[in-house]
Each structure stands twice: as C-alpha cells, then as structure tokens.
Structure 1
C-alpha cells in the first residue's frame, strides 16, 4: 500500500516516469512495478504506459488525487493502516503518512503504539534482512535449532513475518521439506540472504499462506509428540504478591481469588519442561496441590538444583 501511494504521488508531480526509475527508487524488480501499475489501474487511477523516446508510465493530464475518491471512513482506515505500519518500520512510512494526511485534511490520532526495544541490534538487523528477502523474493539459508536441540541447515523462500503470542516467526517455503513451514526467529542462527531469487509459483504460495490452507509447520512438528499425550488437570495455589503475574500466565476464567487474597488456579496442560519451568519460576510463592505425582516431580527438580550449588 505504501509503495502504491508513493508511485501515485510521484506521478502527480512528474506526470511521467519509467518503470526502471521506479524500480531503482523502491529497490524492487521492474516486474513488481508493472504489477503495482496494474493495481492502480484496477483501482480506477488513469495510469498508462507510453512508448517511444519520451515514453514511460504516465497519468492523464487532468487527473488530480481527489479525496472524494474514498469515503471518510476509508480515509481513516488508510491512515490507521499506515500508522500501524509505521510502528513496525520506524520512519519508512512517515512521508507518505504526512502527504495523505494533508490530502485528506485529516489528522489521524495515534491509536497504536508498539515497542520492540527489548530486541538487540542483532535482532533488529535480522528483522530488516528478512524483510528485504521477502520483498525481493530472495532465498535465505540458516541454521535452525529445534526444541530437541537438533541443528539443521535450511534453505527457504521467505513469505511472511508473523508475530504471535509475544514471539516472532517466519512463514516460509522450505526447500528441504518441500512445503510451508513456520520457524521461530529466536532459533534461527547464521542467517544469510542468497542470490537465488524465487518468482515461479510465488503468488500461489502466498495465496495458500494467506488463506491458511493446511500446512505442516515447524511449530506443529515440535508438538507432534504431545499429540499422543493427554492434558492433565492442575490445581495451583499462588501467593497474592504474584497477582501481577497470575493474569499474565493464566486465563481469567481459570483463576479464583480466595478470601485470604491468594489465588487458586485450575488449568489443564500437557506436562512438559515449559510447564514445570513456569511453575518453578514463581519460587516459594506457588504450590501445586494436584496431581500428587507432579508435586513429587517438582520436589525432585528442586533437590537436583540444590545439588548443583553444593
């Protein structure tokens, strides 16, 4: 969306420009620019290609960007979408946001604020590199660490960055597995953008991705072993001093506040290292009441930990 508005704004100023010039400006392929022009044309913008020495991509001379082309609600939606993009890509959408705010004579309130400042510079660089690989359709190679600590080398065609449950993932077509996969960014190491491009079947893969056609992901692979296990009902008492964490870790309907101010949590989990780690992270402020065998397992973990410090 950002690039389409930028192209339109350039054409309003220059009236004519070559596809090559636009491709160089936006660091995309000429083919991508022509796809953008088709999108503008389908949207009703009178844009056309003129051949010859002074040819290029042109707008009809009498065309102006009339804010009445879109309703007031649509104007707000456009600005809101750009605001959300600006939160992820700091600075990259500021110019077009300012221009459209001026055209629409509307100042959109800042409805969304996101802060990824906990990311190290290395992670910011990874995010930027993956973004470029996705936009320019470049394959990437990296080392991937599975949950079982197995390390494999992957070559993939990156399609989309995905943020879910406080974690960043990469959706990509894996050459090795010959299918769509989801990779956790924290487990991707030594990421290299390759010179190999991918165009063929790209749109079809993205279509599958967006429509969420059944895909076998890395996340799903990590949980295959859990599919054969049954969830276990837990009852946990948590001290009132940990109230700020209780509602971060558990759904409200699973939590009961007791008369003494403490919390009783009743929840079902498939028992794994994460569950034990989460409970132990409360230290002395959490106590498992049921099931009994889980109490014994936690006691064993604590004793083993004490031995490490003797």
Structure 2
C-alpha cells in the first residue's frame, strides 16, 4: 500500500485473504491510532496514506531504521529466500531504504574461488531442504576424512563459520569449521530432523588449557594486523611507533604459527624459553632454503 499509493478495499481484501468489512475496520483502527490513512469514494477513489508519510516516523528512529536495514542486508548475504522482497517492502516503510548498498557481507575469504562462496549457500540450501551432504573434512590435526552428514545449524563464532551436523560415520552430532570443508556435494536423499544436543566441537579443544603470559613487540608496519585481533587494553604504544602486546595465551601450535607469520616484524620479549623455541623454528625453516 505504501509503495502503490492508492488501492481499493477489494484489492487489499484479496491481497490479505479477508473481507472488505475487515479492511474497513482495520482502516478505522489505523486512523484512530494516528496513522494518516484516508478513503475516497467514487471512480479513481480508494485508500491511501498521506504522501511522504513513513512508519519510521511513528515507530522507529532514523538510527533504528538503519540498524534494521543493516541486519536484513547482512542476512541477505546468505541469499536467504525472499529477502529481496523483504528489502523492497522495507523501502516502502523507510523512504531511505533504497540506498542500502553501503554494506555488503560476503562469507568467502579474500583470494578465494567462487566455489568458496557457493559452499556456504549450498550448505544453507541443504539445511532448508533437509538434504544429506557429502564432503571431505580436514580436522585440527590435519587429518582428512570423508563424511556423510545431516546439516542442522550454522554458527558464527570467533570470526569463523561452523556447521553443526549429524555425522553418519560417528552417529552423533559434530561441529565442523566450514573453511575446512572440501568437495561438498548435496545428495538427493532427505533426512528427518533430530533433537539437537550440545554439539561436540571438533575444531575447539574442550580440554582445559593453561595460559602462558606473553609479551610481544610488533613493528609499526604490522600494527593493522594486531588491531584485527586485540583490544587496546592489551596494547602498549612505544615511542618508535611499535606496539607491545601483553596477554595470556594457550600455548599451542596456533600460537607459534601466529608469531612466526609476522616474520621479522615481531619479537618475543617474554618468556625466555619461548624466544628459544621461535629461534629454533626459524633455524629449521632456514635449512629448507640453504644451498
């Protein structure tokens, strides 16, 4: 109605599957609640709302309307069915909704193939249509295995997407990191939804881990990467433009790989034994390139 301008009671009744009497009653209720809706009789008449009126003036603030648009636009990145229609309808409610191209959400990483983006959408489609999926999976230890699974739920946690699915090989629900899911196929076979327990997370080490106090000094040229992961409260600016990070970490392979990924742009200050571990790993890497 907001998009069309003027519409008849008969058209509204047909659109919503109710009687014209119900439409007239609803119009009276809207009018009494302060919505400027009017009815004109005769040829060319009908029901219309005062020009330039938008619901956000009565219900939503400008900031709230923008937040709502952003939420729907974010969900649109999953190509969820009929969201384009929803955005079109919101364009009638919020007059500035047509200008919603200021945000784009893409779940595929940089430098990835188009199939990486399709993988997320294929999983979403398999979930909605309850299709069994087949894929190869590389777990946290680097082991590759073939799986048949019933996709149940998507989880976004710690900057990564995970799939909760019933794994037929292990006959229990498992959680898989989507970026490590390879060669995905959607099968024609359908499945019945099961009771979803608290999932076993294959990517997360559920065993308690002790934390190691760590002090790292990052050079200025890599500060942007440091801010991607750490809050200001963990960072100490230095006079030369570098940053010192003071925090506690689980000491595992990820931590060593993360430190080494900065090359000569990071120095382990403390603890001393970790300096020696990093130095030894660098020596081992150099051996690969010695002539």
C-alpha offsets along residues 50-106 of structure 1, whole Å, 9 cap, x if unaligned?
xxxxxxxxx22336597959973499476554333224429952233213432x364
Q: 1:107 aligns with which of 79, 87, 96?
A: 96
The residue aligned with 2:174 is: 181
Distance 1:101 1:194, change over 3 A: same
**How far apart are residue 171 of structure 1 and its match?**
1.8
The residue aligned with 1:5 is: none
Cα pair 1:86 1:92 within 8 Å, conserved: no
Count of residue correspondences: 244
Which residues in structure 2 correspond to 1:95-134 (within 5 Å)?
A: 95-102=85-92, 104=93, 106-108=95-97, 110=100, 112-116=103-107, 118=110, 119-134=112-127
C-alpha offsets along residues 101-160 of structure 1, whole Å, 9 cap, x if unaligned?
32x364336374324563421112212211210110111121211111222222221122
Q: Which protein has the bigger helix share? A: 1
- Separation in 2 of the partners of 1:270 and 1:93? 41
Distance 1:169 1:112, change over 3 A: same
1:83 aligns with 2:41: no
- Separation in 1 of the partners of 2:118 and 2:81? 16
The residue aligned with 1:164 is: 157
3-state SS of 1:219 partner: coil
Cα pair 1:140 1:158 within 8 Å, conserved: yes
Gaps of 5+ in 1: 1-11, 17-45, 47-58, 209-213
Which residues in structure 2 correspond to 1:281-300 (within 5 Å)?
A: 281-300=261-280
C-alpha offsets along residues 197-227 of structure 1, whole Å, 9 cap, x if unaligned?
12354xx43xx6xxxxx3322223xx14xx3
Greater Rg over alpha carbons, structure: 2
* Alignment RMSD: 3.3
Which residues in structure 2 correspond to 1:19-34 (within 5 Å)?
A: none
- Separation in 2 of the partners of 1:196 and 1:101? 39
The residue aligned with 1:142 is: 135
The 10-residue stretch of structure 1 (243-252 or 70-79) with the greater mean CA deviation from structure 2? 70-79
Distance 1:299 1:128, change over 3 A: same
3-state SS of 2:203 partner: helix
The residue aligned with 2:4 is: none
The residue aligned with 1:193 is: 186
Cα pair 1:143 1:191 within 8 Å, conserved: yes
Cα pair 2:106 2:117 within 8 Å, conserved: no
- Separation in 1 of the partners of 2:191 and 2:83? 27
Distance 1:268 1:113, change over 3 A: same
TM-score of the pair, normalised by structure 2: 0.71
- Separation in 1 of the partners of 2:155 and 2:216? 33
1:235 aligns with 2:212: no
The residue aligned with 2:227 is: 247
Distance 1:244 1:258, change over 3 A: same
The residue aligned with 1:278 is: 258
TM-score of the pair, normalised by structure 1: 0.67
Distance 1:132 1:14, change over 3 A: farther
